[in-house]
Structure 1
Amino acid sequence: MADQVDVLVIGGGPAGCWAALTALEAGASVMLVEKGYVGTGGATASGNTTIIHTARGTAERRMSVEQRVRLGQGLADAEFIERVLDRTKENLDRLAGWGYPFPSYEDGRPYRGMLRGVDYLRFMRQRLIKGGAGLRDQSPADGLLVSDGVVSGATGYDRRTGERWKVRAGAVVIATGGCAFLSGALGTNNLTGDGYLIGAEVGAHLSGMEFSSQYGISPVNSGVTKGVVYFWATFSDASGRQLDVAGNRHGIARHLLDGPVYAILDKASPRLREGFRKGQPNIFVPFDRMGIDPFTQRFEVTMRHEGTVRGTGGLLAGDCGQTTVPGLYAVGDASSRERMSGAVSGGGGPNSSFAMATGSWAGEAASAFASGLGLRKHSRAAAPAHDGDRAANGDATHVIAAVKDRMQPLERGFFRDEASLTQSAATFEALWRDRSWRADGRAREAEALLATARWATAAALARRESRGLQRRTDFPDADARGPRSLRAGGIEAAWVSETPETERRLAS
């Protein structure tokens, strides 16, 4: 017997928690299923995150919006950003009213531009439990249910017992986060593009997948990719020769192709050093464990692929989070952030604001959609979109290794060209057509990684220009035709199509 709810939310990060909470507040019955544990899984739970708390019409708001539009290279939408920041401010103020312990300025005024990830998500978990939401921890979803072309629930399994579960729902919200291709970036190893795959299996489109090549600077012996401290760093090569890169990722990546790169945070003042340690303590845990003072001693750095977790691509979603498939919504890192960040990374503050706003919009919209179905929402015949084809003794280890090998290296992921992308696409297609590996216990994650890599590679091949995170060494300039969005999708065959600017918004 399947569980029955009005709204099913898949993914327990900030966007998923806000979707579940606002659906509850709208009167819906809600279940949230999470691959890990709601409150500790995902990128936000691994550290502090900045967020944008500004009021419309203020100088601070104007600067925030203008910055995103300027950096977005023609793909960011100023009015959409305003809406995101309006809802973010509203929700941050609600958090304060509920008793969330925000930090304070030195003069005692509350500071709402920072959230301590684990505290934030634990607070949201408790709020959901008190509100009556059903929570399923350690319960990844592996497929959606469909009734006459409308999404009507999902299936999955309990990682602890292996038991299968099925939830019938009036509407489903995908909040599974992005994909960092198992690069080891902190908090991202459970972010393997699962939501993209199950969404595409029912016909949902994606966009911005070529803007997936975000890399974060990281100490070699750490997965922490918090980049703000490197604006106060001096970089050098193995011989100690200073490099003129000034924290620029492009320059650092170029030098890393030639050999080791080292950093020392010697440009930070004593006051700033103290602020870094208080505001971003997880940055310094690895240094402290190794007995290194990063402000006075050199340490080797690398660049870790953050993919669509810090990049832009994801499921194409409209103003209320609706995808191209009825009954299915996508929020946070699981959805495309082109209108928020354009062709570049949203980093911490814009991405966390986007997650909070889109999650709450989709929770409201999904609740209304489910309500509109009336008594039909659970009586409809529902069939799984995923065929479940499996071999008897499969092993997905080589698939995961191949995706990492083609996506992670700087010479293939950060810098791109026709030959390398074509080779990657051929590798991915051959693996996708091979069904023999799909019985492995990690096969569904491997499928999601591979599918995400296929769409990202196909979109990167189609965009024959350099713009933002799309760095084509064979097309170093921006296309003279101006900015445009690319949609992607497909299961049996990956496809990419150009989306005129006037068609970028889905109907509300």
Structure 2
Amino acid sequence: MLGVRTCSHPTGDPMSIDPTPLDLTADVVVAGGGPAGAWAALTAARAGADVLLLDKGYCGTSGPTASGGTGVWYVQPDPDQREQAMASREALGGHLADRRWAARVLDQTYENMNRLGTEARYPFPVVGGEPHKRGVQGPEYMRRMRSWIRRAGVRILDHSPVLELLTDASGTVAGVRGHRRQHDTEYRVRAGAVVLATGGCAFLSGALGCDVDTGDGALYAAEAGAELSGMEFSNAYGIAPAFSSVTKTAYYNFATFFRADGTRLEGAGSQGGRTVIARELLRAGTVLCSIDQADPEQQAQMRLGQPNFFLPFDRLGIDPFTEKFPVTLLLEGTVRGTGGIRIAGDDCATTVPGLYAAGDAATRELICGGFTGGGSHNSAWAMSSGTWAGRGAARFAASLGATRHRRRLVGAGADGPGAGVDGPDAADPAAAVEVIRAQVHPYDRNYLRHGDRLRPALAELDRVWATLRGSAAARGAEAVRTRQAAAMVAHARWMYTSALARTESRGMARREDFPALDPAQRRRLTVGGLDELWTRPEAADRQAVAS
């Protein structure tokens, strides 16, 4: 078992930790320390499991939630309010959401937010005499979640990214292997079950809090045989000041947009306005904005709700409510899209035994269909799916009895990207990242999609993937970079393969060569594979979607 001295650094001094490689055991391993991972760890521990949480950064501070304020899909248990909440985005999401799952998330989110106030003592603001639970301040939320899970007995290894899943002879997930950044040494964990809460993939776009989100969990799941779903709905871009990484898109509902010459850019502030912005950025390179439609009360609420949005403005002496400032679009991928690991059960089990997925790592189509954004549904899905995955993983681990730590293990990624030893054919992760920047970041490839641009981009990504697959792995920190690069390339290939298969425009998956909605394609698409990719409509016996 992992001893006290090998947990996260209580003294803050990494030199106080024994640097020897670790060989650990746990009932449940949770990979990822954002809200989904924290709720998974908490729930598994409360179910009696010995839980180890592994974070690429420092649990409680890394990831997009910890970097700012976020709304939460918190709705009172009133039938009319719940009905309105579920119906509000169904058309926007292409009618691919599932009412049963949406109702489950509303129930679980309501319970969890109430527990956050009573058990974690989260200081919700009081509005009209009642605690306002439709949002949280990310830094305070995640600080309290870290404290809460540690009180529940969860052990934490910070700065310890997972590198691959470990499986037994039957293909059941039985642990993980990873790297401890601050000690430059490896670790292995034998476990009864694993929850992947590693976040989505923002392709190192620079969006605030998202550089830890390189899609690692989806790659590891696919290597073990899991499937993905909704990957065509992964082209989310957030509006940000050109001098900032904060993508608080909701504030731009109060904005007016302008061309570089100061003339108004019509349509940029409407539904679909990001398409207008993208086209103008491609044409002229500049779009200006002023949040001039917010009244004084709204301005005060904005500053209170997202103070870090205003920091760069204040430092530069710009008043965003009266002056024009340049904006850009930052890729947020599956962090704000809906694609991810396909869920095969109510407990967020994947199609691989012993493996569970939660939060942005898992598909959000079940409650959002083909469209979502920041906060709200995403926050609710993180805490709900984390709760279910933690409970399911604890139950699965308990069912194995004493055998769960005695299985012979093999790396699921042993023949994949990052496998092998140092050598002259080792992959160049920096070169792979440059290909990602060239083939995935540009608006006219990923956002304004057309088959004539998607196909050559996919061919280039396939070429890079072949290089990664055939390369020898680096060790230590270089292994982390190589695996991250491989995960981003894999994500992009699944994304473009699904986008080419959906020959229509639905939700956020827009095709310039197929601009119409096709009623015959009202179904979710499953995608998978590593070297040879495949895609197919989800099985016909899936839960009926909302009409």
**TM-score > 0.5, shorter chain as reference:** yes
Match of 2:486 in 1: 447
Correspondences of 1:150-189 after superposition (within 5 Å): 150-189=172-211
- Provide the residue aligned with 1:367 in structure 2: 394
Q: Distance in 2 between matches of 1:168 and 1:106?
A: 48
Q: Tell me which of 373, 376, 380 is aligned to 1:353.
A: 380
CA distance in 2, matches of 1:384, 1:91: 35
Q: Are 1:91 and 2:118 matched, yes or no?
A: no
8 Å CA contact 2:359–2:386 kept in 1: the answer is yes
Give the AA of the match of 2:444. Answer: E
Given residue 415 of structure 1, which amino acid in structure 2 is its aligned partner?
A: L
Query: 1:204 offset after TM fit, Å?
Result: 0.4
* C-alpha deviation, 1:195, in angstroms: 0.2
Cα distance in 2 for residues equivalent to 1:436 and 1:369: 35
1:341 paired residue number: 368
RMSD: 1.5
Aligned counterpart for 1:378 among listed residues 382, 405, 418: 405
Residue pair 1:215, 1:306 contacting (<8 A) in 2 also:
yes
Structure 1 gaps of 5+ residues are none
Q: Is the 8 A contact 2:117 2:124 kept in 1?
A: no
Report the counterpart of residue 195 of structure 1 in structure 2: 217
Does the CA-based 8 Å contact 1:102-1:114 persist in structure 2? no
Counterpart of 2:305 in structure 1: which amino acid?
Answer: G
Q: Which residue of the partner structure matches residue 459 of structure 1?
A: 498
Q: Which residue of 2 aligns with 1:222?
A: 244
- Matches of 2:422 and 2:338 in 1, distance apart? 34
Q: Distance in 1 between matches of 2:84 and 2:314?
A: 37
> Contact 1:46–1:118 (CA<8 Å) still a contact in 2?
yes
Q: How far 1:406 sits from its partner (Å)? A: 0.6
- CA deviation map 1:283-342 (0-9, x unaligned): 111111111100111000111111000000000013211000000000000000111110
Give the structure-1-normalised TM-score: 0.97
- Residue 67 of structure 1 is matched in structure 2 by 88
Q: After alignment, is 31-40 or 46-55 more displaced?
A: 46-55
Structure 1 stretch displaced more, 34-43 or 343-352: 343-352
> Deviation of residue 106 (structure 1)?
4.2
Secondary structure of the corresponding residue to residue 504 of structure 2: coil
Question: Could you tell me which residue of structure 1 aligns to residue 28 of structure 2?
Answer: 7
SS at match of 1:375: helix
1:407 aligns with 2:446: no
Q: Does 2:261 correspond to 1:239?
A: yes
Q: CA deviation at 1:504?
A: 6.1
Secondary structure of residue in 1 paired with 2:86: helix
Tell me the CA shift for residue 472 of structure 1.
0.6
What amino acid does structure 1 have at the position aligned with 2:420? Answer: D
Once the two structures are superposed, residues 198-256 of structure 1 have per-residue CA deviations (whole angstroms, 9 ceiling, x without a partner) of 00000000000010001111111111111111111111101111111224222222222
CA distance in 1, matches of 2:491, 2:74: 32
Q: AA paired with 1:293? A: D
Measured after TM superposition, the shift of residue 57 of structure 1 is 2.9
Shift in alpha-carbon separation, 1:292–1:346, aligned structure 2, 3 A: closer
Q: Distance in 2 between matches of 1:359 and 1:279?
A: 25
Deviates more, 1:403-412 or 1:385-394: 385-394
User: Which of 255, 258, 263 is 2:283 aligned to?
Assistant: 258
Partner SS, residue 455 of structure 2: helix
Instruction: Say which SS state the counterpart of residue 174 (structure 2) adopts.
Output: strand
> 1:42-53, aligned counterparts within 5 Å?
42-53=63-74
TM-superposed deviation, 1:184 = 0.8
Moved more, 254-263 or 173-182: 254-263
> Which residue in 2 is equivalent to 1:330?
357
User: Which residue of 186, 208, 223 corresponds with 2:230?
Assistant: 208
CA deviations over 1:117-141 (Å, ceiling 9, x no partner): 1111111111111111110000000
- Give the aligned partner of residue 3 of structure 2: none
Distance 1:470 1:331, change over 3 A: same
Mapped contact 1:390–1:436 kept (Cα < 8 A): no
Aligned pair 1:294/2:320, yes or no?
yes
Counterpart-to-counterpart distance in 1, 2:373 and 2:208: 17
Amino acid at match of 2:97: A
2:466 is matched with which residue? Answer: 433
Q: Distance in 2 between matches of 1:444 and 1:504?
A: 35
The structure-2 alpha-carbon separation of the partners of 1:338 and 1:99, relative to structure 1 and needing over 3 Å to count, comes to closer
Q: 2:132 aligns with which of 111, 116, 120?
A: 111
Q: Secondary structure at the match of 2:164?
A: strand
Conservation of the 8 A alpha-carbon contact between 1:437 and 1:443: no
Q: Please state how far the C-alpha of 1:346 moved relative to its aligned partner.
A: 4.1
Query: How many angstroms apart in 2 are the aligned matches of 1:99 and 1:482?
Result: 44
TM-superposed CA distance for 1:105, in Å, is 3.4
SS of corresponding position for 1:502: coil
Once the two structures are TM-superposed, the CA of residue 67 in structure 1 deviates from its matched residue by 1.0
Counterpart amino acid of residue 488 in structure 2? L
Q: Shift in Å at residue 462 of structure 1?
A: 0.9
CA contact (8 A) 2:93 2:506 kept: no
> Corresponding residue for 1:126?
147
